Amino acid sequence: MKVFVAAALLALAAAEGYFRLPNPYSYSCQDGLCVKEERIVSGEYNSLDKCQITCGEYGSIWPQPTGKVELSKETVSFSPLHMRVTKAATSDNRVARMLDNAIQHFTRTIHFLHPDFPQTEKQPLTPEDFENTGHFNQKFQNEDPAQQEQYRQRSEYDRNQLRQRPRYSREEPESFIRRSPFLRKRSNPGVESHNVNIEITVTASDHKLRLDTDESYNLVIQTVGDETTATILASTYYGARHALETLSQLIAYDDINNAVQVVRDAQIQDAPSFRYRGFMLDTGRNFYPKEDLMKLLDSMAYNKMNYFHWHINDAASFPMYSNRVPKMTYYGAYDARKVYYPEDIREIVEYANLRGISVIPEIGGPAHNAAGWQWAQKEGKGKLALCTDSNEPWFELSKEPPSGQINPINPEVYPILGELYRDLMDYFDPEMVHMGGDDVSFKCWQSSEEIQQYLSQTKRESTSREYFELWNTYQSSAYNKLQEAAQGRQVTPIIYSSSFARNYIDKDSYVFQISEFANESVIADYIKNGYKVIFSNQDQWNLGCLTNTWVGDKAENCPSEVPTWENFYRNSPLDMLEYLGVNNARSDIQQADGTNTKNLVLGGEATLWSFDTDANGLQSKIWPRMSAFAERLWTDPQSSLSGTSFTQKRLNIQRQRMVYRGIAADPLQPEFCLQDEGACFSREQYRARTTLNNQQ
Amino acid sequence: MRGSTTCSATCLLACVVLLIPTTSAFFSLPSPWGYKCVNSTCVKEENTGVSQARTLNFCKLTCGEVGVLWPRPTKAVVGDNVVEFIPTNVTQKTTCQQGVCSLLDQAVRIFKDNLHRHHPEYSKGWATWVGPWDPATIAHKLHLDITVEGGETRLGLNTDESYTLRVSTSGSTTTAQIIAPSYFGARHALETLTQLTEYEENRDTLMVVNDATVEDSPAFAYRGILLDTSRNFFDVKSIERTLDAMAANKLNTFHWHITDSHSFPLYLETLPKMAYYGAYSSRQVYYPADVRHLVEYGRVRGIRVLPEFDAPAHVGNGFQWGEKQGLGKLAVCVNQEPWQSYCVEPPCGQLNLANPKMYDVLGQIYNEMVELFSPIDLFHYGGDEVNLNCWNTTDEITSWMDENNFGRDADAYYNQWSVFQEKSRQLLTAANAGKEVPGILWTSHLTEEGRADQYLDPTKYIIQIWTTGTDKLIGELLEKNFRVIFSNYDHWYLDCGFGAWVGEGNNWCSPYKGWQAVYDNNPHEIAANLTGNTYTNSILGGEAALWSEQVDETSLDSRLWPRGAALAERLWTNPSHNWEPAETRLIHQRQRMVARGIMADRIQPQWCHQNEGLCYL
């Protein structure tokens, strides 16, 4: 009975822990989907990996490029050790240095493709790794000595930091490449002798991402004989970085040769549809260690997102170490380990920049303030934050516990805010600063004796109108402090949309973040009145509502259904504006007043309020839903979800790719659906597909 | 050197004070906050320096009736003071029978490792304990005095898991006296003792409650977590982590839904082609050594690893080889489309009742599973979601039904399904050397109104309930003397609340079951509501199920925990109250799991942990 399986063949399996036999399945590309078939021994073997990167108009590129895409159906195999940068043309030393880092980051992601690469070692590229492992950075001999010195000091600093932190069994830093499973022997000499050359040309010297940065790129892959050349042409570093991201998506593991394979020939022209493709993380309600933020930045870069809105503090905690007002941190941090020191922040900002991401810090107000402000009263400055007495029921004073709101009539508030803004300038050198402006509770000010006294002394009534005026006192004073701190640099403030914002805020000085639910009519008013906006519809683009039962067992402020990846994908700012009666929202036609809708809509931002999330659940909560969001903003596909199975298939692959890179993205489907594209369909999709097949 | 260069005129704190923290990259100043225990609640207040307030951990350990013990013991008196010690200073004396002693050695080793895990900088088996300590702390010893009376080394439904734990301090020794009828009780006692210790942040040491008495035993004998490793694969490390977290919560059954129609990740020595055709890849396979390792890993942690081979539905990929080998079709409707007509979710597949060779293979599968998981005290046959249309549209089966004059209506198929089930039971019993073990079956068409006792013998089968907690069927099963395990999906399905994975909208059992919903699901109450009787003897316990269509090893921990902890207290303690009084303890239990390396999800801002009772509804 037991002999019916060819035991000889399979005996090998258990010994090594893996089947030594070839995969029983092969894949063919049919109508843009990879179809699983049993492999015929004498027939050609196409692995799933190969099929995925070549099948369909866009292969597995995510987000889908907006320009021309041509991919050959063939791949060529090579060892990642034989991938070299043969040209990195830039006239700017700093850009050269940045490219060097991007190339190393790219190279690591290629090594991570090996299934045996230990998942725990897939960590962000630290400056230390960068210094110690660069086999590319020797190429740039014309390095500016000042820059070299700066980097030397940096890595020295970092090593000191490591030394200071007590650790056991710390491995000596060594090249991750020396640990790469791709070092194992390959039996195919053709693979061993194949070279991949990368040639990069960057024409501009931008080394800081701004809203007007040109992120477009051109990528050409050509294979002649045993040479494959990937040519990248971009005006800025940021475009070149995106091109490397796309190139990495045209490379997959090759299980037969213990190698990788790249699409043999390709041409891609690409540029984003929206300038602002952001993510907001709240580190005030729960703390995220620096390493987790760096991993987050990596994962955003994998999806070509470019703005990280850092909601640093909230009423619950103040984790930023302020050099100028250290007691904010002393009283406000959850504990001494849960602090972002200036060096940490600078490292994060620099790391983000290398990943093509600009960091927008937020110290918002007047609501969401309590932690950290306690010290001032002891030093005779009066109450800086009101409604922080825990004996009062929080629900009378704010949207959530803990309550707390800035005391706008205490003049001591503003110099301190000014100091905090100066810290922000020092640590972030930001292009924009978020000033908050959400959830202001008039009931809080109403309950405050100090405010009531002030109102009666100045002969005012306790009316909404007066509270708007108080809010305006706060906002205009804070704005002035911010501009003072900027010392002449142009720093654009961002504020959440509200009736206050519409009635009091100068549309030309601010950017407005729209948190209204999709299709609320007020959204159109912003555009009609010429406001510059970022879309953040909280019913579609809020990542935090998955388990939102943190106060009691009722979900608050969340839509009745959890936004799925389809919601994230479908929410189109321009379609929404068309629907709301903004004419020609999708065209370049100027409005009567000379504005252009597409210029007013900077882009969008997905948000995660950390009520019930910290670093443990972060990645799986945001990925891969935020990938769907990223494609909406990069590609802005005009038909919202046509051919869902094709989008779903690429999204499944993008999720898998992130997991290969050490990001704990959630699976959307059983792996069966990844391996058998189009098998997991709904009735509608099945009908659509059968009709399609019948037509052909 | 953080901050040291920044003490300029703007520096608002005395520079002297701030220079200390910067050298070590952390404040080494005591926290500005201290805690006082007021009405069983830790209240945060500013540390005046005059009366040394307690640290948060000190307060948590000693405040309230049971401090931060989880699950809450049956009876506990916890003292209001602590004594500090260095975790390397732990000694033990064990009184036990052979077999039990070697298990106890391992349990003590795990206990000691868990002590080190309290340290915030614990990493890979080591923590940095640097002090400075006073001589009394250095001299202080934690002594374990453990007595296990019985010789059981395998968990069974009748195992006595109770224990008593007495902690007392005299001079420079704190003694934890543990007495338990079985190893499993003693192991639980060590878990409880771990929860009477915490990290002391000002002196970088551990503290233990100096005086405590705990008498404890579980309310339910079966306290389980189901993991489905077929829809998506989970590596051995992630299953180990799950067992660790289960042990921390005194859960005792890891129900392993190994296979399904999607993939067959179990490597069988005699049927290697099952995994060859059925595994997602050659790396996503459980080899015999892996299974044996996990069974043992669980046993040491007080956990039965319960195998399920789901049949006759929920099979498919992996069975393709049969036809090639001349055995005919072992399974039918495999990957058949459109799937909506042949099964509940893609891909389809169901065993071929008309093929006698199918039973040969089934017997072989059982043989090997019994051996891998041996000795088994329970076996899960699956038995859910059979699609009659699959069988009734397969020529081979319809002609077999006709030839044997079985008929072709629904009842005819149910009859044949029950015949299949009886044959399966006999094959399993044969595989288990003739020794009968209770089988577990999911509620299904076979257990529907008026059917269960017609097809199934209540002395041989335990029914696992996955319908809602208001289903009349539950009452009927209890009244017909079936023993049951609760997994009603409206509270205990942990996969609910995400986007649908086929088509759009939210998945079928949405919304997400928050920890509160998990906690409040009370099997005795459900039984009483339906029948007027709590059926305490028939209700063996409960289990939270993590079906894995939309989860794999990357986010396993945050999906299971801390909701699994909420389940654990329901099943261990079965409190008469709802979730509310449990909240602050659960948050601490979650922190404890995180310290132990489980990536449990946050349920609230950390502020709520530091400000007990203020995140009320």
Contacts of residue B114, defined as CB under 8 A and 6 or more positions apart, other chains included, come to B194, B596
Contact A619 B555 (CB under 8 A): yes
pLDDT tens profile A187-213? 788 898 999 999 999 999 999 999 999
Short-list A649, A640, A639, A637, CA closest to A678: A649
State yes or no: pLDDT of B598 exceeds 90. Answer: yes
- Look at residue A21 in the predicted model and tell me its pLDDT: 61
Residue A336 has its nearest CB partner, among B3, B27, B46, at B27
Residue of A nearest to B509 (CA): A561
Q: Which residue of A has its CA nearest to B288?
A: A14
**B276, pLDDT greater than 90:** yes
For the segment B87-97, what is each residue's pLDDT rounded down to a tens digit?
999 999 999 99
CA distance B196 to chain A (A): 22
In this prediction, residue A249 carries a pLDDT of: 98
Q: Could you tell me if A491 and A483 are in contact, meaning their C-beta atoms sit under 8 angstroms apart?
A: yes
List, in sequence order, every beta strand (DSSP E) within A167-216. Answer: 195-202
Tell whether B341 is within 8 A of chain A (Cβ). Answer: no
Best of A329, A335, A384, A545 to disrupt the B interface (most B CBs within 10 Å) is A335
Contacts of B3 in chain A (CB under 8 A): 321, 323, 326, 341-342
Q: What's the rounded Cα separation, in Å, for the pair B542 and B550?
A: 23
Q: Model confidence over B415-465: pLDDT tens digits?
A: 999 999 999 999 999 999 999 999 999 999 999 999 999 999 999 999 999
Digit-coded pLDDT (tens) for B516-527: 999 999 999 999
Instruction: Verify whether the Cβ–Cβ distance A554 to B617 is below 8 Å.
Output: yes
pLDDT category at B17 given cuts 50, 70, 90 is very low
pLDDT of residue B508: 94
pLDDT at position B91 is 97
Task: Tell which A residues from 575 to 614 touch B, by Cβ distance under 8 Å.
Answer: 610-614
Residue in B287, B347, B558 nearest the CB of A616: B558
> What homologous superfamily is domain B222-610 in, according to CATH?
Glycosidases (3.20.20.80)
Q: What is the ipTM of this complex?
A: 0.92
User: Å from A221 to nearest chain B CA?
Assistant: 30
pLDDT in tens, B392-406: 999 999 999 999 999
Using the beta-carbon criterion (under 8 Å), do B607 and A334 form an inter-chain contact?
yes
Residue B86 has pLDDT above 80, yes or no: yes
Comparing CA positions, the residue from B373, B372, B279, B363 lying closest to residue B319 is B279
Quick one: residue B366, left, alpha or beta (phi over 0 = left, psi -120 to 50 = alpha)?
A: alpha
At position B611, the amino acid (one-letter code) is N
pLDDT of residue A133: 46
The nearest alpha carbon in chain A to B609 belongs to A334
Cβ <8 Å between A672 and B320: no
Q: Tell me the H-state helices in A458-495.
A: 464-486
E strand segments, A143-301: 195-202, 217-224, 227-234, 251-254, 259-263, 266-270, 276-282
Distance from CA of B469 to the nearest CA of A (A): 19
Read off the pLDDT band of B305 (50, 70, 90). Answer: very high
**Greater model confidence, A585 or B141:** B141
> Contacts of residue A686 in chain B, CB cutoff 8 Å?
337-338, 340
The yes-or-no verdict on residue B140 having pLDDT over 60 is yes
**Segment (H or E) for B462:** strand B461-465
Q: Among residues B201, B215, B240, B385, which one is catalytic?
A: B385
> Helix, strand or coil for residue A329?
helix
Q: What is the pTM of this model?
A: 0.92
Pairwise CB contact (< 8 Å): B335 & A676: yes
* Domain boundaries, given as residue ranges, for chain B: 33-216, 222-610
> Is B396 an active-site residue?
no
- Residue A1 burial by Cβ neighbours in a 10 Å radius (0-12, 13-18, 19+): exposed
Does B498 lie at the interface with A, CB-CB under 8 angstroms? Answer: yes
Q: How many angstroms separate the CA atoms of B132 and A361, rounded?
A: 39
Comparing alpha-carbon positions, the chain A residue that sits nearest to B130 is A166
Binary contact (A564, B499; C-beta < 8 A): yes
What pLDDT is recorded for position A175? 56
Is the torsion defined by CA of A385, A386, A391, A394 positive or negative? negative
Within 10 A of A203 (CB to CB), how many other CB atoms are there? 16
Q: Is the pLDDT of residue B366 over 50?
A: yes
Which CATH architecture does the domain made up of B33-216 adopt?
A: 2-Layer Sandwich (3.30)
Per-residue pLDDT, A177: 66
Q: Are B560 and B494 in contact (CB under 8 A)?
A: yes
CA distance B295 to B377: 13
Residue B510 has a CB neighbour count (10 Å cut-off) of 16
pLDDT band, residue B5 (cuts 50/70/90): very low
Selected residues 567-606 of chain B with any CB under 8 Å from a CB in chain A: 579, 594, 599-606
Specify the higher pLDDT residue, B240 or A694: B240
pLDDT score recorded for residue A587 = 75
How close does chain A come to B18, measured CA to CA in Å? 9
B510/A666 Cβ within 8 A: no
Contact flag A672-B347 (C-beta cutoff 8 Å): yes
Which pLDDT score is estimated for B49? 67
- Taking an 8 Å cut-off on Cβ atoms, the answer to whether B126 and A168 are in contact is yes
Question: Are B475 and B530 within 8 A, CB to CB?
Answer: yes
A241: nearest Cα among A71, A69, A98, A62: A98
A287 touches chain B (CB under 8 A): yes
CB contact under 8 A, A686 and B338: yes
Token pair in block for residue A100: 């060097």
What is the reported pLDDT for A598?
81
Give the residues of chain A that fall short of pLDDT 70: 1-21, 128-178, 548, 552-557, 588-595, 639-645, 686-696
At B570, give phi and psi (nearest 5°).
-60, -40
| Min Cα–Cα distance to chain B from A365, Å | 19
- The predicted-structure confidence for B454-496, as pLDDT tens digits, reads as follows 999 999 999 999 999 999 999 999 999 999 999 999 999 999 9
Output the pLDDT for position B243: 98
pLDDT at B26: 47
Q: Which residue of A has its CA nearest to B2?
A: A341
